């Protein structure tokens, strides 16, 4: 069982991002709670987590694209890699009746997510605030910053 629960330590003070992250944590907890039960229930909960994660990562990737991130940036690459693993875990469970990778992935996501949120997503939230990006409207107050040299890193000061 994972121990990941939503706490204020995960909040980034960006309401849309925080709501999406809280939903991710809740869906991951649902999958975790299904680990000892029937495999069909576990797979259904995993599928809901994957569906959420597709939308979650697409949303952040759109925000990055709208605010000056290069298409090839490490934050988006991490999204792509994590989602690829998640999809493959579901496929193996569904097609091969091999649930071990999925079971392991639940715990690994509980370890990965706080690090990702506190580093890459926190940097993205700071960047969005710096350029005055409104996720609800897609409008950016400081387009000069967003139209500068494309960001290939995660957006943080330690990762350009």
In this prediction, residue 160 has a pLDDT band, given cuts at 50, 70 and 90, of: very low
CA dihedral of residues 17, 23, 24, 30 (deg, nearest 10): 170
Q: Name the CATH topology of 15-146.
A: 1.20.120
Give the start-to-end residue ranges of the domains of the chain. Answer: 15-146
Determine contact, residues 77/70, Cβ cutoff 8 Å.
Answer: no
Give residue-wise pLDDT tens across range 67-84. 988 878 899 999 999 999
Q: Scanning the structure block, which residue is given the tokens 């990055």? A: 64
What is the average per-residue pLDDT within 37-48? 97
3-state secondary structure (DSSP) of residue 68: coil
* Lowest-confidence pick of 64-68, 101-105, 125-129, 155-159: 155-159
pTM: 0.88
Q: What is the mean pLDDT of residues 5-21?
A: 95
What is d(CA 133, CA 146) in angstroms, rounded to the nearest whole number?
9
CA 138 to chain centroid, in Å, comes to 19
């Amino acid at each position: 069982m994972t121990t990941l629960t939503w706490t204020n330590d995960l909040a980034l003070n960006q309401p849309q991002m925080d709501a999406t992250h809280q939903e991710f944590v809740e869906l991951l907890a649902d999958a975790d709670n299904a680990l000892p039960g029937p495999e069909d229930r576990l797979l259904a909960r995993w599928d809901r987590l994957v569906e959420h994660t597709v939308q979650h990562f697409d949303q952040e990737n759109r925000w990055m694209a709208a605010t000056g991130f290069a298409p090839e940036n490490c934050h988006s690459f991490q999204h792509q890699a994590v989602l690829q693993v998640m999809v493959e875990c579901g496929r193996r469970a569904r097609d091969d009746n091999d649930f071990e990778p999925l079971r392991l992935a639940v715990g690994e996501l509980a370890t990965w997510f706080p690090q990702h949120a506190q580093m890459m997503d926190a940097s993205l939230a700071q960047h969005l605030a710096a350029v005055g990006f409104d996720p609800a409207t897609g409008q950016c107050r400081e387009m000069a910053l967003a139209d500068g040299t494309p960001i290939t890193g995660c957006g943080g000061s330690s990762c350009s």
